[in-house]
Structure 1
Amino acid sequence: MQRQNKARAPRLAIAAVMTLLAAGAYAQDSAKARPAKGKVDAVSSADMKHLIEGSFSSKGPATVEGVLNQDGMQQACSQYPDRTKVPAKVAKKIEAAELKQVRYPADKNWLGDWKEGEKTAQNGRGMQFSDQVGGANGGNCYACHQMTKAEISFGNIGPSLYQYGKLRGNSEEVVRYTWGKIWDSSAYAACSNMPRFGHKGILTEAQIRDVMALLLDPASPVNQ
């Protein structure tokens, strides 16, 4: 049984939380400074940008630009705090746009080494200010999913992936879907909480192959 402590998913979670807290404090201070108008004015996007730029500095892989510069999917999903309530029409548009950006392996080599995939799944480090630029990131898969029977420390935000390949098989459709889901989760579930591992360059293509093997290789502990 693995007993490794897992860090938070590599998505600048600490910076995001600090940003929200700072935004709340900013809105309160601004409200005190202005005459009462019946309701507190909303914090403008320009004010928020100025706040972030003045509060944080880029260090290592954690950059101010990474917080401020949202792509189209992030901008669309930011309109829906409850991601289970994204309108169907909007969700369909997001998924179609993201699916077009999935890059499949040109050599059709889908599976790597499941043993290396297990290491990636267990590793929760990466993309924090203390990490080396260009260093290997982890997938932190166990933070959200059950994957192997031996591991009893896992999250339940995402569905269980235990016996993933054994239950689904390894047809071309399953293999392509699995790759696409790891590469860009919002290609199949708009505004998903799962990181877009390939799209955002969190995991390398070799690491994704290894995680694919962990999920689909019959010899993998996932499928025992």
Structure 2
Amino acid sequence: MKQIIAMGGGGFLMEPENPLLDRYILQQSEKERPKICYIGTASGDAQSMIDNFYSFFNEQNCEPSHLALFKPPVRDLESYVLDKDIIYVGGGNTKNLLALWREWGLDEILRKALDQGIVLAGISAGSICWFAEGVTDSYGDELEPLKALGFLKGSNCPHYDGEADRRPTYRKLVDEGILKPGIAADDGAAIHYIDGEMKRIVSSRPDAKGYFVSPGSEEELETYYLGNESKR
């Protein structure tokens, strides 16, 4: 089973007091105590984000680790990555992430990881990267289209409700055929794909949603609020 969980926003990086999405990611591994590895390439391996990752996941039933390409922990990146159960990619500059991954061969390693059943997850840049293309601010102040890895078909837009320009820019790019139709996610929403198909949308906020955007159309998709489980 090939799983990808693409988050529009949220998780320990944006909602440190709200564990719902991160715990959902952990639950998707078949392992009782999964090995989860954070990759912070998009933020330049910012130490503050790495520290926040450990601060949260050290308290969960898992084995956290991280991969920093600016300070590689091992020479054999492939063995290191393929030993994990979950890969969690942080946000930042998607263009730089893709360039560095390709230089190190990490893009092909992650494709092998997906094929081997390792769960791939990520927020913002760590969401866009899995799709064929997306809308990004990697080039500066303006939002622009970007080709990505193509593990998932179509396009992607995170932070759909979190940044004022995201929704109108994404819709314009799709309307004009510059981007393929695709999936947008609010902050706090996560799109769960299994074997390349969207199976479920979950959220850490009651009003966070996912959307299918095509030329001239935006369809709000059914989204399950994970907080409902804690109320049972």
> How high is the TM-score relative to the length of structure 1?
0.29
Question: Larger RCO: Structure 1 or Structure 2 (Cα < 8 Å, ≥ 6 residues apart)?
Answer: 1
Larger radius of gyration: 1
TM-score by length of 2: 0.28
